[in-house]
Amino acid sequence: MTRRALKTTTASILAISLIQPYPAMSQIRAPEASFAQQKSDFWAKERIYLAQTAAPTCFTAGAVDTARCDIGMMRAELEALLQNGLAEAADRPAEDAETAALTLEDRIGLLSAAIETAEREAAEAEAARVAQAEAEAAAQAEAEAAAQAEAAAQAEADKAAQAEAEAAAQAEADKTAQAEAEAAAQAEADKAAQAEAEAAAQAEADKTAQAEAEATAQAEADKAAQAEAEAAAQAEADKAAQAEAEAAAQAEADKAAQAEAEAAAQAEADKTAQAEAEAAAQAEADKAAQAEAEAAAQAEALATEAQEAEASALKDAEIIAEQTETQELAAVTATTDSETQAPAGEVSTEVVTAEETRSSDQEFAAPVNRSAEAPRAESNGLSNLEKAGLLALGALAVGAIMKNGQRVAATSGDRVIVEDNSGRFQVLKDDDALIRQPGSTVETRRFDDGSSTTSVTRDDGSRVVTIRDASGRVLRRSVVDTLGRETLLIDDITQVAPVNTAILPPAPQRQLTVGDRTDSDALRAALRAAEARDLGRNFSLRQVREIVEVRELAPEISLEDITFRSGSAAIQPTEAEQLREIGLLMRQMIRDNPREIFLVEGYTDAVGSAAMNLLLSDRRAESVALALTEYFDVPPENMVVQGYGERFLKIPTLEAERLNRRVAVRRITSLIAPR
């Protein structure tokens, strides 16, 4: 029997910002010159307007008045609240009672929800416009195709009508020739009858004069008979000649018809040959276009690879530069210096409930704008699950997000997407979300520098201790069993050397796609492929997560049978069965070596914004990690979740592509293990 435990996943960055001092907002920088000039002018006008009003302008009757304020005004007012806080009641212009009763936290929560709703509606309107344009284009193409088909049918009909007219003309000519022949025969018959009548008259005359000259009459009668015979013979000859002429004319007509038929057949053959030649030419053009597209995609891939190499170098320099700062965190000092008094910090203790966690088949709840009549506990628009996420990610300050010119690109409960000056996106979240299980007791100590130490005690008495920096990222994690024995899983506090990607060994060729018939031995061999190579050094977890050349030293196990609905991060129980082979193998490997660490990665296709794709990919990766724990008892503390959005497309296309919507697992134990 498998067990199923719900995990926490959500929190809200804007409400979290209340925990830290507001002066950190001074680090917000104006948009870079690369941004559109129109957008910059718009924000400048909004800031001038808010500065002139010196008070919030978007609230009416205790709610955000979206009819009066557009999304730019709401963003400007939110920024003003985050920078300056809420002025004293005496310093604010007169407000209605419901608005005056709103706290700074209420106003920030309401503005955040209204902005997210406005952004979603704008995105939906744009999607509807694009769909309408595509539908109109398809209708136009269909109408053109119908017109072409109608023209071809009309041409074929004209051709048939012409052939029919020619056949009718030939028949009429044949009929006329036959009528003329019959008329000639009738005239000849009339002539013969007249001759016969004249002969009869002559015979009568001869009979009258018979007495005078019987011999002469007899001779004349013989002569007349002979003439009659000759006339009959001549008529027969004329009739035969006429029949022969008609036969010759018919033969000529048949020959002409045959020639016409042969000409029509030749024309049809020429037409077919032309069509085949045009089809061959089109095929050649299509082949050339495909080759050109493939060449362009290859060039794009090479350019992307160069950009990734440059980004990796910059990211590694950033990681190394922050190591000294990391070692100075109060949470590190409090945990590692057991001989001295621990630095003071705010301590909170809670027992995790089922309402504060989620399971792999549940969607992430998005903040909503509740009515003014709702109970005050719900008026900030946060669900119980999101409130739990706020508590767990309480050390995430607005100042930490805005460091080095970063800006918030997207938020969703427990995750924040930030964008730096180079246009790179990064997801910030609570790395302890997987470990918080219903019934566990969580003790959290938060320090003034934003760092925190969390101890999660389970029902069996074992504990998972985690040190996190101000952005919620895990720096150190260990497991203490019921006998007090500690197993160190992650240590990003120890100094590591910079990464020189030029001297790293090539990525292993062996990649594996997990399916129904995956061989467990092949899967185990793929997971352990990186272990056979001696790299001569180890890396920090952050270097593995954020530098692609380091991450690819561990083979990728692609879970392509796990699919998600559009915009969804939930895994149905029927789909979770596809994880059986890798889930059972991961559990066994962790039992054999409790220090095993697996990186669960999420990816999307290129449809949609880069920020939202990064957010969605990280949530999907977490759903897979939750399913591995719920159905196959994989310890959550031995997994790290990371989304990469649309940055690493398996199929280089901007269209929807199933193979780009994937989740993968890497065994990174040999990369981060101390040497």
Q: What is the pLDDT of residues 272-293, one digit of tens each?
A: 888 888 888 887 877 776 667 5
**31-45, 78-92, 198-212, 273-287: which has the minimum mean pLDDT?**
31-45
Q: What sign for the dihedral angle of Cα 377, 379, 383, 385?
A: negative
Helices vs. strands in the chain: H and E counts, helices first: 16, 16
Taking CA atoms, 286 is separated from 44, 46, 275, 651, 655, in Å, by: 49, 51, 16, 20, 19
Reported pTM: 0.54
pLDDT band at 478 (very low <50, low <70, confident <90, very high): very high
Identify which has the larger pLDDT, 289 or 583. 583
E strands, 15-143, are 59-60, 63-64
Chain-centroid distance, C-alpha 235: 94
List Cβ neighbours of 467 (8 Å cut-off, separation of 6 or more): 329, 331, 332, 335, 451, 452, 453, 474, 475, 476, 477, 493
Mean pLDDT within 644-655 = 89
What's the per-residue H, E or C state across 525-545?
HHHCHHHHCCCCCCCCHHHHH
Most confident residue range from 215-219, 321-325, 330-334, 578-582: 578-582
Identify which has the larger pLDDT, 599 or 322. 599
pLDDT, tens only, 456-475: 999 999 999 999 887 778 89
Mean pLDDT within 341-364 = 80
500-675: in CATH 3.30.1330.60: yes
pLDDT band at 185 (very low <50, low <70, confident <90, very high): confident
Helix (H, G, I), strand (E, B) or coil at 516: coil
Most confident residue range from 163-172, 201-210, 542-551: 542-551
Report the C-alpha gap between 658 and 562 in whole angstroms. Answer: 11
The kind and range of the H/E element at 106 are helix 104-208
pLDDT, tens only, 357-395: 888 888 875 533 333 333 333 334 445 544 444 444 443
Mean pLDDT within 332-350 = 68
Closest CA to 541 of 617, 615, 489: 489
Q: What is the pLDDT of residue 299?
A: 55
Report the C-alpha gap between 386 and 9 in whole angstroms. Answer: 8
pLDDT band at 169 (very low <50, low <70, confident <90, very high): confident
Mean pLDDT within 196-208 = 76
Report the C-alpha gap between 480 and 488 in whole angstroms. Answer: 9
Q: What is the pLDDT of residue 16?
A: 41
